[in-house]
A = this chain, B = another copy of it.
Amino acid sequence: MKITPRVKEILSWYSSDSPGTLTNLARLLGTGKLGGTGKLVILPVDQGFEHGALRSFAPNPAGYDPDYHCQLAIDSGCNAYAAPLGSMEVGAAKFAGQVPLILKVNNSDTLAKVDQPCSALTSSVEDALRLGCVAIGYTIYPGSGARNRQYEDLRALTEEAKRKGLAVVVWSYPRGAGISKDGETAVDVAGYAAQIAAQLGAHVIKVKPPKDLVEQAEAKKVFEKYQIPTKTLADRVRHVVQSAFNGRRIVIFSGGEAKGTEEIMAEIKGLAEGGAFGSIMGRNAFQRPRAEALKLLNDVMKIYAP
């Protein structure tokens, strides 16, 4: 555990939290190859629930076994491994203490027709404690007609997690009737999503890399009036990080669908340049053969902390 001055500085932004929660945040920041740098790379594997095991693991069948992923997170030196209840239960005892665990407490599948996107609560703060996790993870869909229920469930979970010394990671993915498909990753929407998660009390905020696009007319006027640059990914990431309490909340970025290595590296460079605190990288890692995944994660970490 590397609790460097930078880690202490970041922890100082969470001064309303209990020593228990600060300890778990410190574990997140102090573990792995990036430990102590203030940067994070997290391996999340909830795609089995979200898209089915087949689509998630057929490209690299070793991944059908949840322990594969946890071992990959350890061996690659990730800051943490995130997964839903079932996957976590398989390996929690075996891997105890080897890598910080984030229990993804809500999940969604793609078998049902959905009007108002909303994940189901699938595990609890008590489960996270029982399994030795440092944090819970929760997805909100701002823009959904069901957002209020999500915010309110998250509120209750967050209150409980903080009382019991855990950290809270929020996946903030705008989606639903209020937002166009393209607009889900518009720069204004991404910034707004980061702000909402920050206001809801998240310690770590996960958003998607924003595109050079503005969704809301009111926002467009503001970007223009104040000549806020949005051309490069770094520009846009800067806006998103600023939107999360001027950079005083940890904001990390997901990679989305699997893609080529070069494309990934270019994106990570943009994220890092814009001030991202790191990446959460799932399919791009675990769908590759193990050796390639280890190399990729290593390369990504090098960009964040050269």
Q: What is the interface residue range for chain A against chain B?
A: 35 or more
Interface centre among A85, A177, A223, A226 (most CB of B within 10 A): A85
A33–chain B nearest beta-carbon distance, Å: 27
Q: Given known contacts A52-B188, A188-B54, A199-B107, is B112 in contact with A145 (CB within 8 Å)?
A: yes
B112 touches A54 (CB 8 A): no
Which residues, 149 to 201 on A, are CB-close (under 8 Å) to B? 149, 151-152, 155, 159, 174, 176-179, 188-189, 191-196, 198-201
Alpha-carbon separation in the docked complex, A110 to B142 (Å): 9
- Please tell me which one of the listed residues B118, B130, B196, B245 contacts residue A87 in the complex, with CB atoms under 8 A apart: B245
Is A291 part of the contact surface with B, judged by Cβ < 8 Å? no
Copies in the complex: 5
Is A84 part of the contact surface with B, judged by Cβ < 8 Å? yes
Is A139 part of the contact surface with B, judged by Cβ < 8 Å? no
A52 touches B195 (CB 8 A): yes
Q: Given known contacts A90-B245, A245-B64, is B112 in contact with A155 (CB within 8 Å)?
A: no
A219–chain B nearest beta-carbon distance, Å: 6
**Beta-carbon nearest neighbor of A242 in chain B:** B64
Q: Given known contacts A54-B192, A111-B178, A113-B177, is B120 in contact with A151 (CB within 8 Å)?
A: yes
B112 touches A144 (CB 8 A): yes
Q: Residues 118-131 of chain A: 1 if any B CB is under 8 Å from the residue's CB, otherwise 0?
A: 11111110110011
Alpha-carbon separation in the docked complex, A43 to B109 (Å): 30
Alpha-carbon separation in the docked complex, A159 to B61 (Å): 30
Alpha-carbon separation in the docked complex, A191 to B127 (Å): 25
> What residues on B are CB-neighbors of A93 within 8 Å?
15-16
Q: Residues 61-80 of chain A: 1 if any B CB is under 8 Å from the residue's CB, otherwise 0?
A: 10011100000000000000
Is A55 part of the contact surface with B, judged by Cβ < 8 Å? yes
Q: Residues 212-255 of chain A: 1 if any B CB is under 8 Å from the residue's CB, otherwise 0?
A: 00001011001101101000000000010011111011000000
A179–chain B nearest beta-carbon distance, Å: 6
Is A20 part of the contact surface with B, judged by Cβ < 8 Å? no
Q: Given known contacts A54-B191, A127-B159, A192-B54, is B122 in contact with A179 (CB within 8 Å)?
A: no
A35–chain B nearest beta-carbon distance, Å: 25
Is A261 part of the contact surface with B, judged by Cβ < 8 Å? no
Q: A15-B93, A64-B243 are in contact. List 10 more A-B contacts (CB 8 A).
A: A15-B94, A53-B243, A53-B244, A65-B245, A86-B249, A109-B147, A111-B189, A119-B148, A120-B151, A122-B199
A-B contact pairs, 26 of them (CB 8 A): A49-B195, A52-B192, A52-B216, A54-B191, A54-B222, A54-B223, A55-B218, A58-B223, A64-B242, A65-B246, A66-B248, A85-B199, A86-B202, A87-B199, A107-B151, A109-B142, A109-B147, A109-B196, A110-B216, A111-B179, A111-B193, A111-B196, A112-B142, A112-B147, A123-B159, A124-B155
